[in-house]
Chain A
Amino acid sequence: MSGLLDITNLRIDLGQARTPVSPVGPLDLTLDVGECLGIVGESGSGKSLTLKAILDVLPEGLVRGAGTLRVMEQGKWVEPAAKDLRGRKIGLISQEPGAALDPLMRVGDLIGEIVRLHSGCSRAESKTRAIDLLRQVGVPDPEKRATFWPHELSGGLKQRIVISMALACKSEILLCDEPTTALDVTIQAQIVDLLRDLQKQHGLGIIFVTHDLALIRQIADRICIMYAGLIVETGPSAEIFKAPQHPYTRALLAALPDIEASSGNLQPIEGTPPNPTDFSVGCRFAARCALATEACRAARPLLEKTERGTMVACFHAGVAP
């Protein structure tokens, strides 16, 4: 597979802290053409911030402290400014699709405008292209829906419109930030299906951020498990779910109710994740980890390759708990 996006040493810093505080990173991410990378973690793990850092749309008070971001452009790695990526090479699908839709424009005009901006075609042509795009993302009765206002659409349809806008931008990379969290489970399944189709048909690279392990299992080819701003385990999705190596990954799976099982204990994870201001020099999971030793508290384990083709940041990787 060929590369599409390559991020190294990405770090997000707290703006005006006296001592440097980095809620996220340093971390590396790569994405191939036609690949879906899943980033999974609990609230506060920094998974959404990572996406925002890629597009340089971090909330007030946070800055991208370090890191290089390269994208593949006609066979060559280039390092463009984030503003040249937004709405062009990279599209963003957020949890709240309503926020991405101008409430004062009809759906068809919204998409048509983007089509015109990117291809310079005529108004009439852009209209038919917009309807085409709506059909592509599975909007039923696209001619009629094109004349709707955003508020007249359900959450699922709005999310489809946002996806079609990314397609209109000819984005090659879709950043999905919990795109289905606000949707019902039957609609979520439809959107996930749609994303998979687009990934296959257009060779889209998708980074899919969610807190839902089962969902990430369904959609991602490769996953990163994030904890307290760092990637603790990454690798092919099937491998990680078959034999998770990091104690945190295992704990997450033990805490997750599975639709297939009606009994057995759910194991909660004791304690809470540390605050960025309280990050220690050691492993950030040590305080909640049953395997933690002095070594874990003294130094932070880095991601290392395992024989299964995954990477794990743990001194006790693979040790049965």
Chain B
Amino acid sequence: MTRAAEHSHALAPAPRRKQRRPLTPKLKAGLCILGIYVLMGVFGPMLLPFDPDKSDILSRLQAPSAQHWLGTDQLGRDFLIRLLFAIRIDLPVAFAASFVPMIIGTALGAIAGYYGRLTDTIVSRAADLVQAFPVYVFLLVLVFAMGSGATSFIIAASAIAWVGYARLTRGEVLRLREMEFVAAARVTGLPESRILLTHVLPNALPQTVIYFMSDVVMMVLVLSSLSFLGVGIQPPTAEWGRMIAEGQPFLRSHWWLAAAPGLMVMVFGIGLSMIGDGLDEWYQK
């Protein structure tokens, strides 16, 4: 047998299709919603000639008009600009409050799942401990102890939310650890830490990203709830949950003061859920 007689194997045209898989409709819709929110948050307030925090008691509770498209609130501030300004608070805070625990949880879960033994025991017990408390009580205690505000909210949320990421990643890593490509990487002599980082974790990340999306939704809701209760973002800063609380007394006469921020939260939640679902479909394609 001569080597020349052997043919070079042309790659099948079939899998060539598209190296980049097309986005699913759900993913597209979700990304659109997120994009619109970001655009509204960045540029919206610039287009309106109002100060969102400056009150003007004389023009309070005005109905929608050519000047104030959504009217004014109980302190006479333009309602639309407050609604848009809140994006600048709610989105970054919610993302940060999901991102920080994602990093912490993924790292802890990966180490626990891959190395097992003592690390696993410690991480798992710590996770059990956190989960044993009712979430809101725990959050309220933490925020109360550190004082209200965005930073303390992010710290408090991270202290709780890492558990979900850690459990998820630990499970994925436990599964992936037994896969043959990990054994193959060991045979090539790569150190364990590098195998974990370059071979195991990248395969666990899709699940994490999907979870992250639903977690951001969760965090917007939690932030709004805390603000509603008065321990989240402090006035006069515009924040949806706070705005719902402030609009509550005027539900009968000015229903939109509570409904509009609620709607903002809801649509945002739907958008992110669609991104999460869409990513799931997209990965599985």
Q: Name A residues whose Cβ lies closer than 8 Å to a Cβ of B.
A: 265, 268, 270-272, 274-275, 278
User: What mask results when residues 101 to 133 of chain B are scored 1 for a CB within 8 Å of chain A, else 0?
Assistant: 000000000000000000000000000000000
| Given pairs A265-B1, A272-B12, 8 additional interface contacts (CB within 8 A) | A268-B6, A268-B7, A270-B7, A271-B12, A272-B14, A275-B14, A278-B13, A278-B14
Binary contact readout B165-208 vs A (1 if CB under 8 angstroms, 0 otherwise)? 00000000000000000000000000000000000000000000
Provide the residues of chain A in CB contact with B12, threshold 8 Å.
271-272
Nearest residue, chain B, Cβ from A274: B14
Bound complex: CA of A275 vs CA of B10, how far in Å?
15
Residues of A within 8 A of B14 (CB): 272, 274-275, 278
- Among B34-53, those with CB < 8 Å from A are none
How many residues of B sit at the interface, in one of the four size bands?
under 10
* Cross-chain pairs A/B with CB under 8 angstroms, 13 sampled: A265-B1, A268-B6, A268-B7, A270-B7, A270-B9, A271-B10, A271-B12, A272-B12, A272-B14, A274-B14, A275-B14, A278-B13, A278-B14
Query: Which residue from chain A places its CB closest to the CB of B1 in the assembled complex?
Result: A265
Bound-state CA distance A172–B10 (Å) is: 46
Give Cα A274–Cα B15 distance, bound, in whole angstroms.
Answer: 11
CB 8 Å contact bits of B1-20 with A (1 = contact, 0 = none): 10000110110111000000
* Beta-carbon nearest neighbor of A278 in chain B: B14
**Nearest A residue (CB) for B8:** A270
Chain B residues near A274 (CB-CB < 8 A) = 14
What distance in Å separates the Cβ of B96 from its nearest Cβ neighbour in chain A?
Answer: 43
Q: What separation, in Å, do the CA atoms of A270 and B12 have in the docked complex?
A: 11
Question: Which residue of the partner chain B has the closest CB to A275?
Answer: B14
Residues in B with CB closer than 8 Å to A268 are 6-7
Interface residues of B (CB under 8 A from A): 1, 6-7, 9-10, 12-14
Q: How far is the CA of A271 from the CA of B9 in the complex (A)?
A: 7
> What are the residues of chain B within 8 A of A275 when measuring CB–CB?
14
Q: Write out the residue numbers on chain A whose beta carbons fall within 8 Å of the beta carbon of B13.
A: 278
Q: Find chain A residues with CB under 8 A from B6 CB.
A: 268
- Taken together as a complex, chains A and B put the C-alpha atoms of A130 and B155 apart, in Å, by 68
* Smallest beta-carbon distance B13→chain A, Å: 8
* Distance between Cα atoms of A41 and B10 in the complex (Å): 22
Q: How far is the CB of B82 from chain A (nearest CB, A)?
A: 49
- Give the CA-CA distance A184 to B142 in the complex, in Å: 62
Name B5's closest neighbour in chain A (CB-CB).
A265
Residues of A within 8 A of B7 (CB): 268, 270
A18 to chain B, nearest CB (A): 16
Docked Cα-Cα span, A274 to B9, in Å, equals 15
Cα separation A37 to B36 with both chains bound (whole Å)? 63
Shortest Cβ distance from A270 into B: residue: B7
B190 → A minimal CB distance (Å): 32
B15 smallest CB distance to A (angstroms): 9
Contacts of A271 in B (CB 8 A): 10, 12
How far does the alpha carbon of A278 sit from the alpha carbon of B7 in the complex, in Å? 23
Q: How far is the CA of A121 from the CA of B26 in the complex (A)?
A: 57
**Which residues of chain B are near A272, meaning CB under 8 Å?**
12, 14
Q: In the complex, what distance in Å separates the CA atom of A275 from the CA atom of B13?
A: 10
CB-CB nearest in chain A for B12:
A272
CB distance from A263 to the nearest CB of B (A): 10
Q: How far is the CB of B90 from chain A (nearest CB, A)?
A: 42
3 cross-chain pairs, A with B, having the tightest CB-CB distances, nearest first: A275-B14, A272-B12, A270-B7
Provide the residues of chain A in CB contact with B10, threshold 8 Å.
271
Q: Collect the chain B residues with CB atoms within 8 Å of residue A270's CB.
A: 7, 9
Give A321 Cβ to nearest chain B Cβ, in Å.
15
Interchain CA distance A274-B14 in the complex, whole Å: 8
Closest B residue, CB atoms, query A277: B14
B1 to chain A: which residues have CB within 8 Å?
A: 265
How far does the Cβ of A285 sit from chain B's closest Cβ, in whole Å?
A: 16
Contacts of A278 in B (CB 8 A): 13-14
Q: Please, which residues of chain B bring their CB within 8 A of the CB of A265?
A: 1
Q: In whole angstroms, what is the CA distance A241 to B12 when docked?
A: 30
CB distance from B17 to the nearest CB of A (A): 10
Cα–Cα, bound, A271→B7 (Å)? 9
